[in-house]
Amino acid sequence: MLLAIESSCDETAAAVLSPPSSLLASHIASQVEKHRPYGGVVPELASRNHLILLNPIISQTLKSADIRIDEIQAFSATSGPGLSSSLLMGNTAAKALALASNKPFISVNHIEGHLCSPFMQMEIKPHIALIVSGGHTLLIKVNEFNNYKTLGSTLDDAAGEAFDKVGKMLGLPYPGGPEVEKLAKRGDPERFNFPRSMINRDNSTFSFSGLKTSVLYALNKIQNPDKQILADLCASFQIAVVEILVHKATEAALKENLNTIALSGGVACNNSLRQALRIRCQKYGLELIAVDPKYSTDNAAMIARAAAERFIRKKFSLLSEDVNPNLRI
Ligand code: KG4
Ligand code: ZN
């Protein structure tokens, strides 16, 4: 039985999992309302709230799993990438529990957590991972757990970051991603022809800042945009992002001779992306394993799933190992 803590950004989360993949409980205390007035995450506020929320969320998770803390065999936490003051809260809590109970500590890379999240209830198999979140846009060739080759990432904004910035530009509440998707449902995706940056390059590199600027230029040309124009901007922006992601992911799978794509990260909540990727995978005879939306945005279940793979391999971490805000996969 493992207890995992996630605190890399503004979600305080805990989960209990029996390795390799039997999840007993997972709880998330979102701080989104606390940060909304500022239009983004305020690091100082996030770490203070982690401190307040950690003990109650751990107790609630143990209660839901119906186990006592002394039944936990290892404690795990995200060690990066993320906000250092936020990472320190969850990481220190897990280390303190490990030290006090003389049990192993397992540090987990947040990106590896997302990478494992589509495989909550199954074995991890060779695949192309498309990880799209607020902080990352990555295509990774996964040979097996802990054997990865990064094929490409973004030169500038992450996909989720672009959604959030476009949302902000259009005056939508934070975080922009889900709001842009909501508005896009009523919009015409062909009204604006936004650039599909890097789509014709034969590589796995992404770029979203040009697309974001194009939305700003289009918005600036319109005087007093009504609801319909805002919806059309959202739909046209969203389809550009989706087409880029779908194209690059399927091209990578074909090039690397892998017949499975796994989709994860907060942007994996987006239904247009899920649907378009499913259709393209069907067309090319590829299998799509899309993360369950409840494990797509930051959560501790995915950290526990990655920790379980390390636990099985006895890959424990030192208590002296520090958090790393810039940790890479
Ligand atoms: O994985 P996550 O919780 O945090 C990071 O590790 O970054 O991802 C959060 C990101 C935010 O940028 C949010 O706007 C985006 O995921 N997101 C979405 C949707 N739901 C969340 N983007 C597009 N459409 C959505 N439905
Ligand atoms: Zn994340």
- Are residue 31 and residue 72 in the same domain, yes or no? yes
243 is a domain residue: yes
Residue 92 tokens, joined = 């220190």
Residue 169 tokens, joined = 């530009």
**Structural domain of 15:** 2-116+296-312
323 is a domain residue: no
Is the shortest distance between the CB of 134 and ligand 1 below 6 Å? yes
Name the domain count of the chain.
2
Identify the three-state secondary structure at position 170. coil
Pocket test for ligand 1, best of 110, 163, 164 (most atoms within 8 A of CB): 163
Is the shortest distance between the CB of 133 and ligand 1 below 6 Å? yes
CA 42 to chain centre: 19
CATH number at residue 277: 3.30.420.40
- Are residue 231 and residue 170 in the same domain, yes or no? yes
- Are residue 134 and residue 276 in the same domain, yes or no? yes
324 is a domain residue: no
Is the shortest distance between the CB of 167 and ligand 1 below 6 Å? no
- Are residue 150 and residue 247 in the same domain, yes or no? yes
Q: Band of the pLDDT at 202, cuts 50, 70, 90?
A: confident
- Are residue 109 and residue 71 in the same domain, yes or no? yes
d(CA 274, CA 129): 14
pLDDT at residue 279, rounded to an integer: 98
DSSP lists the bridge partners of residue 27 as 14
- Are residue 243 and residue 131 in the same domain, yes or no? yes
Residue 268 has pLDDT above 90, yes or no: yes
Distance 147 CA to ligand 1 centre (A): 26
Which residue type sits at 125? K
Distance 226 CA to ligand 2 centre (A): 33
User: What residue owns the CA closest to ligand 1's atom 3?
Assistant: 297
6 is a domain residue: yes
DSSP lists the bridge partners of residue 16 as 3, 25
Mean pLDDT of 191-205: 92
Instruction: Give the position, in ligand 1's atom list, of the atom nearest the Cα of 297.
Output: 3
326 is a domain residue: no
- Are residue 231 and residue 257 in the same domain, yes or no? yes
- Are residue 132 and residue 280 in the same domain, yes or no? yes
Write out pLDDT tens, residues 270-279: 999 999 999 9
- Are residue 273 and residue 150 in the same domain, yes or no? yes
Q: Band of the pLDDT at 200, cuts 50, 70, 90?
A: confident
d(CA 21, CA 146): 17
Q: Band of the pLDDT at 326, cuts 50, 70, 90?
A: very high
pLDDT at residue 40, rounded to an integer: 87
d(CA 124, CA 282): 21
327 is a domain residue: no
Is the shortest distance between the CB of 175 and ligand 1 below 6 Å? yes
Mean pLDDT of 285-312: 98
Task: Encode 240-264: b = buried (16+ Cβ within 10 Å), e = exposed.
Answer: bbbbbbbbbbbbbbeebebbbbbbb
- Are residue 141 and residue 281 in the same domain, yes or no? yes
- Are residue 63 and residue 194 in the same domain, yes or no? no
318 is a domain residue: no
* Model pTM score: 0.96
322 is a domain residue: no
CA neighbor of 300 nearest in space, from 80, 82, 1, 17: 17
Distance 31 CA to ligand 1 centre (A): 14
Identify the three-state secondary structure at position 141. strand
User: What residue owns the CA closest to ligand 1's atom 8?
Assistant: 266
Residue 198 has pLDDT above 90, yes or no: no
- Are residue 18 and residue 79 in the same domain, yes or no? yes
